[in-house]
Structure formats: C-alpha cells, structure tokens
Amino acid sequence: MTSTDVRADSGAGASRTGIYLAVLQLIFTLGWTTYVVYLPKLAAQVGIAPGMVIFILMLDQAIFTISDTAMGIAADKIAPFIGRLGVFVGILTAISCAAFVALPFVAGTGPGAQIWFIVLILIWVVTSSALRAPPLTLLGKHRARSQVPLLAALAMLGYGLAGAVSPYLGMVLRNEDPRLPFLISGVVLLLTTLALSKVERDAAQQAPASSEPVVPPKALSQVPLIFIASMVILSLGYQLHFSLNSSSFFLRFTTADQLPWLMPVFWIGFNIAMFPASVVVKHRGGLIVMGAAGLFGALAVLGAELSGSLNMLIAAQFVAGAAWGCMLMSAVSAALAIGETGAEGKVIGLVFSALALATFARMAAVAGGLQKLPEYAPLLQWAPIACWAVAGAGLLVIAASRAQRSMQASKV
C-alpha cells in the first residue's frame, strides 16, 4: 500500500469517526429533549408539584457540571488501553438507558414511586455523562491534529441538528404516551453506543505514528484556565440569548404558533458555519476563531435586539447561530489541542462542564423569575452581547499573545 493509499484510508476512517460521533450526539440530545418534554407530566404522576420541575432540571445540570469533568478524566486514564474506552462507555450507557427507559413506567405507578423516580433520574444523569466528553477524546488521542477541526464540526453537527428539530419533536410528542418514545430513544442510543469499541479500534489502527515521547498529563496552566472561564462566559451568552430572549424577539413580529418554524433559524446558521470555520481553525487555531466568532456573535445579537422587521431578525439569528457554531466547534478543537499531553478528556470534560454551568445559571434566572421583573430587563437584554464581546476580545488577546511568543521562540 502506497503512502497515498494510507492517507486516503486514514481520511476515510476519520470521516467515519466524525459521522459516528455526529449520530451519537444527535441521538443523545434528542433523548434529552424527550426527557425535558415529558418531565412535567411524569413528575405530576408521582406527585411532584409543577413548580419543582425546574429545580429537577437545575439539579441535572449541577450534576453534569461535576460528572462531565470526572468522566473526561476517567477517559484519559482508560483510553491508552485500546478498546477499553468503548467498553467503559458501553457499560455506563447500558445503565443509563435502563434508567431512562424505566422512568415513564415507574412514574405510571403513582405517587408511591416518587423516591424511585428521583433515584432513576440521578442514575440516568450521572451515567449519561459518559456520552459527552469520553467519545470526543478519540479525536485528540487517535486522529492527526490537522483532522480534528473538521471532525469536531461533524461531531457538533449532531448537536446542531438536534437543536433544529427539537421544536418539532416537542410538538409531536407532547400528547403521546411517553413509554414508547423513551423505549425507542433508549434502545437506539444503546445500540449506537455499542459500536464505539469498533470505532475506537479503527481509529487507533489508523492513528499516525508519533515520534514525540509520551509526556505524562500536566496540571492545567493559566491559559487553559482562562480558556475554560471564557467558555463559561460564552455559554452563558448563548443561554441568555437563545433560551431566554430569542422567542420574545420573534414575538415582536409574529405569533407564538410560528415559533417552532422560526427558532431553528439559529441552528441552521450553526450547522452551516462550522465547516468553513474548521478550515480556519486548522491553519490558525481554535482560540482565534472562538474570539472572532464571539465578537461577530455580539454584533449579531445586537442586530437582533435592534431589528425593525422579521426578515432582519431572521438574518441576525442566522448569523448569531453561525457564530455560536464556530465558537463551540473551535472550543472542542482548542480543548483537544490544549490537552494534547494526555489530558484531552479532562479539558473537553471541562468544556461540557462549562456548558452545563451556564445552563444551570439560565435555569436559576428562570426559577427566580428574573425575566419577569422590569428592573432586570436591561440586564437580560444586554448581558448576551456583553458576554460574547468580552470573552471574544479576551480570547483574541490570548491568541495574539501566544502567536507572538511562538514567533519569538522560532527566531531564537
């Protein structure tokens, strides 16, 4: 086999890995959507008051904040043993899917099952973290660095597609018996996850040989910590803009029944922009693309705030979604590059923890009724713009500083 054939085989294998991760993220995120749609109904069946549902969802995100990083660290320890990561994720996913599928059946038995219902939720949330950071560590450990941005875009495509179809899924499922959707989601997710071991072995076999000595994992330095802090701020900006403000923007020009058809505009921009942006990440790095996307996103959100027509708002939402897609794809690429000394799982786990922490903060704002208080309206209105602008500018400064040091080092 010639070197050209080897590269072609590696490229095809990398694409298969990316597509597999996209499907995995799509199915997992749709399962989460199914859970959110039905949780109020299931909670009512076991005697949990409607006002407590938001606190259950907040608890889920609080657990994700811890368990995502823990699962990433576990992935770093397991990944050197080829095939073990797939087994680890498969076992936890089997437990997760069993708990998930059992939720509507247990809820159907009535208030006496309230404790068991909560226990099943806790088991499902903790174990489902195995499907967030660990599979993505395959990209950092078994794929060439030049392939990572495109593969990260493919993996996040599943997340973006799920975001686009979630409004329609919510409309379809709302009045259906939850047992069948939970069963289908759990079984499909488990079957998809069972293929991870083969994907892992194929990726390991096609991985380029490294001439660099193996370096033990290091403690996070200042730049990674600033990167994670920036990710929290960017994620908070996304949560406040899309989850809290976007629907009210559209309601200025249309009615509530049109929202399921308009909200996916954000995700269309998200899915389209990641792929051209991955080319820039490949040559310039993830931090600079994250920073630039943060600034463009801030301008897009400002445009959404000031838009005078539905068409202008649609365009602004498309650009805002494109910016968030670039931020998230670049964050995954940057995390894998930062953790390349053996801490890929840890850093990518911290990225998912940052997403969960921002989601928790948004839910806390909703639980506290901040969006209904007139005195907090300006804060919620301008906070997304400030989050994306400040974090974006900070990341550009860091990227420029690192580039300058690299140039100085090359001259020595």
What b/e readout covers 101-111, taking b as 16+ CB neighbours within 10 angstroms? Answer: bbbbebbeeee
* 304-362 pLDDT, tens digit each: 999 999 999 999 999 999 999 999 999 999 998 887 777 888 999 999 999 999 999 99
- pLDDT above 70 coverage of the chain, percent: 89
**Average pLDDT over the chain, rounded to whole?**
87
Residue 410 CA to residue 412 CA, distance in Å, equals: 6
- Residue 20, pLDDT > 60, answer yes
- What pLDDT does residue 406 have? 67
Q: Give the pLDDT band (50/70/90) at residue 292.
A: very high
Residue 210 CA to residue 341 CA, distance in Å, equals: 12
Gyration radius of the chain's alpha carbons: 21
Residues 189, 326, 241, 229, CA torsion sign:
positive
- Residue 223, pLDDT > 70, answer no
Nearest residue to 28 via CA among 128, 105, 102, 165: 128
Q: Average pLDDT, stretch 168-188?
A: 88
Residue 61 CA to residue 351 CA, distance in Å, equals: 13
Residue 22 CA to residue 88 CA, distance in Å, equals: 20
DSSP assignment letter at 209: P
Tokens of 396: 């550009």
Domains parsed from the chain with CATH numbers: 9-207 (1.20.1250.20), 215-407 (1.20.1250.20)
- What pLDDT does residue 237 have? 96
- Residue 263, pLDDT > 90, answer yes
Residue 247 CA to residue 216 CA, distance in Å, equals: 47
Find where tokens 């950092």 sit: 140
pTM across the whole model: 0.90
